Structure formats: C-alpha cells, structure tokens
Structure 1
Amino acid sequence: MSAVRAFAAALLLSVGTPALAGEPVRDCPLATTPLGVDSPLSDALMHPDGPATLASLAPDLVSGFTRNFGGMDLPPGFANILSVASLLEVRPDGAALKAPLAAKLAALPITDAFTVARCARYDHDRPALPPPDGRPQVLVFEKINGFRDNPSVDSARKRLSAIAEARGWQIVFTDRGGVMNADDLARFAVVVWNNVSGDALTTPQRAAFKAYMEHGGGYAGIHGAGGDPVWFWDWYADTLLGARFTGHPGRPQFQTATVSTTDPDNAISAGGAKAFPLLEEWYSFDRNPVNGGAVAVATIDEREYQQIGYRGESLAMGYHPIAWRKGIGAGRMFYTAIGHRPENYDEPHAAALLAEGIAWAMGQKEAKPHD
C-alpha cells in the first residue's frame, strides 16, 4: 500500500486542514448550497421556512408520496436519500410544480445555523483504531445516514468477521466518517461499505476516499451501499459503482431467481458453483455497469421473477448483473447487490461470492485460467 501512502501529503494540501473533532461540522458537501428541488428532502424539511414553502404549492407532498407505498410513514433517515424532485416525479402535477417550487426554495436564506443543522449528520470523529498486527487490514465502514436495515447490517458484520478469521485478515469496524483521512486509509487494503445508505462523508472525507481508491485502494460494497434512490455524490454513483439504483420488486418484494457466476477470468467465484437459486430483494439499475467498463461477476435471470416496482413500474434490465468488479485508477472495486435477507449471509454460495469479491478488491486474487 505504499502507493496509497504517497498521496497523503498532497491530499492534505488539496483539501485543507479538517475541522477539529467536537466542532460543529460545516464542510458537508451541500453546506452553503441554496435549496432547490434537487436538494435532499431532509434539508428542505429542516429549514425554518422549508415546510411552509413546500406546503404553499404541494401541501400533500410527503403524504402523496407515501401513498404509493401503502401509506406508511417514511422510515428514519429516508428523507436523507430522497430529493424534493423525487417526490414530485410521482405526482400528476409534479412537472408543473417543479419550476415554481425550485424558485421558492432557492429564495430561502442559507444561514450559518442552517448550515450547521444540515451538516449535523456528518462527523469529524477520527476513531481510535487498534494497531496493525501484521495481517492484511480490512476496514468495515458502517456510517448510515439513510435507510438502516439492522438485521442486514448485523448479519453482514457477523459474516465479515467469519471471513476475516478464516482468511487471516485483521478486521476493523467503524461508523465514524472521520476515518476517511489519508493516514488512516493508507493502512487498509480494502474498505467494505456495509449496507451504507445516505450521504456519509464531508467534502474532505470524500476527497480522501476518492484519492485512496485512485492510488491503489480497494472498495467492496454490500447491498444497500448501492441502493439509495437518490445520490448526492455523483462520483460514487457514476464512477465507483457505475450504475444507479432504480428500485426493487414490491409485489412480492422477495423472489427466487437463479444467480449465475459469470466472471470471464474466474477471478471471483461462488465457491465453485456456476449457478445457484436465491431468495432475495433484487435490485435494478439505470444502466448495465458492464457498458462502463465493469466485469459482471454474477447475473440473475429476469425470466424467473417479476420485475415490477411498488408503483407498478417495470424494473426490467434485460441482461442483469447483480455483482461486478472493475478498476478505479490504480484501485479495485467490487459490489454485490445480494444482502437484504439476513439469511443470505449464511447461504454458502452467496457468502463465498462476498469473500472472493473482497479478496479480489484487496489485490489478493488475480484472474485464473479458464476452466
């Protein structure tokens, strides 16, 4: 990881000195950005004049949206992964409301108090990490500002610990964004994003993680780390992942499909299985990541399940990668959309796919000869 360490000094010059831990966070990505329809819904709702502004044109904005999902309340943190525009899109009058509502939101003042409020979900807390013990280092990042599915997160953590023990890795868990700094990242061969949902990193932390990846670091994303309906970090969604979540089936949510391992170089497999059935919440994406340079590691057969979303929309992709890998500069990324059902972390083939993907992202696995 010497190449990763090499960027530390230059990075500090490019992003400046981070604020001290304990001070209010003011360097979140949208800190002083005017509000608009592309803002997080949570930002519009927390502004002192935001709710009244929304209600002046769309008094049922939130309730009208939740009616599409059976009228349930928004889960905690969900307003952080929706934009005002995403709620307008499901309304018959949404297109007509977009411009006037954007103008009204843009006119709201951005005070220092509001900046502190909208940045409060971020942190500068640099965790106390255990010293390296000579084994390959794995960081598991679990800062979740959006939708948190505790059974998925907990089951993934248990499986990751078992994988690390079996493979001789030292594994470190943290939910602090402050770990995303050049010095701490440089010791890790891979950062596993365990079902991370919601924008989690300040502007300097984003720069640190991006530089880490481009200079030889590793990323492994699990399920929810690629499942936000709206993204506020384009590099993460479009370059790192290479595809944006569009939805998952709603009726029923969980369906069985055959997972086929498709890595042409056999770099990542599922414990030797060429195909296996799995009951899961199947994500769809706005594009095929293979078209952006990724290698499909696993696909699912859309003929075996109904790709219909909660609003009756089609989620069909045709060729449907569900796990993929690619290079990011000198670094490596692996993502698997498997992982909503806690039971799937104990499914042998899915667990093997996860372990192999992390090992590849660490640089421990290369392409094998074709069978």
Structure 2
Amino acid sequence: MTIRLLVYTRTTGYRHDSIPDAVTALQALDGLMVEHSEDPAALEAPLEGYAAVVFLSTSGEVLTPAGRERLAEYVGSGGGFVGVHAAACTEYDWPYYGGLLGARFDRHPVHQPGKVVVEDPDHPATQHLPTVWDFTDEWYDFRSNPRERVRVLVRADESSYEGGGMGDDHPLAWCRDEGEGRVFYTALGHASEAYRDPDFMAHLLGGIAWAARTRPENRHA
C-alpha cells in the first residue's frame, strides 16, 4: 500500500542544512508518495487525500490562519501528523500546536554521540532497534516533560553525552492520539547523516506508518 504524504519544510527561523537530504531520503523509500512543499497554501488546500502530513524540521511561524484551521480539522477527523526534529521549534504563537505535538523545544547541547534507550519496543518506530541505540544528534531538551500526555517510545541517556538538561526522564520520541487522528514525533534527525542511517530511517518510517495507520513494510532504498 502506498502512503501519500505531504512533507512540509517551511522555515522562518533557523534552517537545517539537512532538509534537502531528508526530503530526498523520504522520496527514495519504496511505498511512499511524497509531495514536498514550502508554500503555506499547501496547508490551506484540502488535506484528506494525504495519509499523513509531515513537518520536517520546520521552524518559526509557518502557517496562515487558514492553514492552522485546516490542519487542526484534518488531524481531529482522523489524519496523521508527524513532526521531525525542529518541528518542535514551530508555531510558538499557536497554543493548539504545542498540545498537538506534545512538547516544545527549549535548548540543546552541541551535536554529539550519545545513547537512546528504547522504552516501548512494540511500536513500529522502535521494534527494529536495540534496547540501547548509539546515535549522534543534538539531544533536544523540552520546555516541559511530555510523558503524562504521550506514549513515550524512546528517551535519552543523559549520562552518555554532555549538556543534557532534563535529567533521568528525557523523552525523545513519542506518539499520541489527537481527536480521531494520530501524532508521532521524533526529536532526532538534525544532520544529513541521520537520513543515510538505516536504523533512523526505519524509525522514521515506522512512525509515519503508525500515524498513517498502515504497516511499515518498506525499508530504506
């Protein structure tokens, strides 16, 4: 089954150099039909034809009032929403968005190696991962811990890197329901290298498939 996605990468704040590589990597996955846009008008059009909308390292205010209304209606009525990395640095002026995603970005230390601890090995985004996954990223801290509002899938082991600010309970990827829709977020995915990592791409594909209510049968091409 082909998963049709709208991948949205508009930025009005910091722009990640990895965005082109990330889009290319998603387009290379068998079973995905990726429509990429940075035009706010794309979110003002009907979204029901998409299995999920992906905010891929968006930043700042990226939606019009009409786009905000359309996205909320889409997810609430059963659409999938996926946020990747800087999606947590997005739409600070829209309270609904913070609740939709589950948490908002606060700060991060330098890009460095660390360890990801899998809490929920039964989710499509984690079932392929080892219990402890060595990875390199920015290890986002959030303004609040989302645990009470979401299903935490993986957390950071702050003892494995320098500069963590959330302590022992540091969620990094999670999922939740919003109305009749599904939301998946992963804080990982800062650098272009992530989108050439088979484990990360399987993690991302699993989250997309879960949000879209399909099976993640495909693998990185």
TM-score of the alignment, normalized to the shorter chain, above 0.5: yes
Give the whole-Å Cα distance in 2 for the aligned partners of 1:158 and 1:271.
Answer: 22
Give the whole-Å Cα distance in 1 for the aligned partners of 2:198 and 2:26.
Answer: 13
Q: Give the drift of 1:355.
A: 0.8
2:75 corresponding residue in structure 1: 213
Q: CA separation of 1:303/1:146 partners in 2, compared to 1, >3 Å: closer, same or farther?
A: same
Runs of 4+ aligned structure 1 residues displaced above 4 Å come to none
Alignment of 1:1-371 (within 5 A): 135-149=2-16, 151-163=17-29, 166=30, 168-181=31-44, 183=46, 185-227=47-89, 231-237=92-98, 239-249=99-109, 253-263=110-120, 265-269=122-126, 271-292=128-149, 294-307=150-163, 315-365=165-215
Q: Give the drift of 1:204.
A: 1.5
1:8-51 per-residue CA deviation (whole Å, 9 max, x = no partner) reads xxxxxxxxxxxxxxxxxxxxxxxxxxxxxxxxxxxxxxxxxxxx
Q: CA separation of 1:256/1:136 partners in 2, compared to 1, >3 Å: closer, same or farther?
A: closer
Counterpart contact for 1:159–1:345, Cα < 8 Å? yes
1:7 corresponding residue in structure 2: none
Q: Give the drift of 1:268.
A: 2.6
Counterpart contact for 2:26–2:32, Cα < 8 Å? no
Bigger fraction of residues in helix: 1
> What SS class does the counterpart of residue 139 from structure 1 fall into?
strand
> What SS class does the counterpart of residue 319 from structure 1 fall into?
coil
Bigger fraction of residues in strand: 2
1:99-137 per-residue CA deviation (whole Å, 9 max, x = no partner) reads xxxxxxxxxxxxxxxxxxxxxxxxxxxxxxxxxxx9431
Q: Give the drift of 1:244.
A: 1.6
Give the whole-Å Cα distance in 2 for the aligned partners of 1:270 and 1:227.
Answer: 27
Larger radius of gyration: 1
> What SS class does the counterpart of residue 333 from structure 1 fall into?
strand
Q: What is the identity, as a one-letter code, of the residue corresponding to 1:344?
A: A
Q: CA separation of 1:347/1:264 partners in 2, compared to 1, >3 Å: closer, same or farther?
A: closer
Q: What is the identity, as a one-letter code, of the residue corresponding to 1:160?
A: L
Q: Give the drift of 1:318.
A: 2.5
Give the whole-Å Cα distance in 1 for the aligned partners of 2:137 and 2:20.
Answer: 17
**% identical equivalent positions:** 34
Give the whole-Å Cα distance in 2 for the aligned partners of 1:272 and 1:259.
Answer: 10
RMSD: 1.9
Gaps of 5+ in 2: 217-221
Q: Give the drift of 1:260.
A: 2.0
Q: Give the drift of 1:178.
A: 0.8
Counterpart contact for 1:226–1:245, Cα < 8 Å? yes
1:267-307 per-residue CA deviation (whole Å, 9 max, x = no partner) reads 43263433221111110012221211x11111111111122
Give the TM-score, by structure 2 length.
0.90
Counterpart contact for 1:271–1:348, Cα < 8 Å? no
> What SS class does the counterpart of residue 225 from structure 1 fall into?
helix
> What SS class does the counterpart of residue 231 from structure 1 fall into?
coil
Q: Give the drift of 1:169.
A: 2.4
Q: CA separation of 1:299/1:335 partners in 2, compared to 1, >3 Å: closer, same or farther?
A: same
Gaps of 5+ in 1: 1-133, 309-314, 367-371
Q: Larger RCO: Structure 1 or Structure 2 (Cα < 8 Å, ≥ 6 residues apart)? A: 2
